[in-house]
Each structure stands twice: as structure tokens, then as C-alpha cells.
Amino acid sequence: MQDVKELIGIIMRVLDHGEIAEADVLDLAFEAEGELLAAVNAAYIALLEFVHDRDQRSADADLDLEQRAVLQTSLNRIVQLCDTGP
């Protein structure tokens, strides 16, 4: 579960109006199963898109808000799945 906590920490940093480096995302490794694995993978992809779209987001506040909202939704789903357990 520690690996998922690292992912959650990075998402929380982004949601606090932070930026992250691609290396931060690429360094993540996680193990999960079932719905949690799907949610974690979706969050990982959203983080990669967030990083890759940095120049576009800095020029488009709506895009920035949209991508952060996607990450908020991903975080909510991960937390919900972790709270309900296997």
C-alpha cells in the first residue's frame, strides 16, 4: 500500500497548485489488484498527461483546471477503494 500512498502524495501536491516533474511520475511503482489497479493506472496516466501538457496548461487556465479536476476525481476513487478494502 505504500506505493499507492506515494501516488496519492504526488496527486495531492498537484491539487495544492503544485507542479511535478516527469521523473517524479516515472519513478512511481505500485502494486494493486482489481478496481484499485484500474483506478491507480488511470491516475498514473492522468499524471503523465498533466506533466506532458505543462506548456499548454500554463497558457490555458481552463485546461489546467480541467486536468487538476481529473486528478481530484482519480484521487477520490482511489481513496474510496482503499477505504472499502478488498
- Tens digits of residue pLDDT in 56-85: 999 999 999 999 999 999 999 999 998 887
pTM of the model: 0.90
Domain boundaries, the chain: 2-84
Q: Which of 8, 80, 83 is nearest to 43 (CA)?
A: 8
With a cut of 60, say whether residue 12 has pLDDT above it: yes
With cut-offs at 50, 70 and 90, classify the pLDDT of residue 2.
low
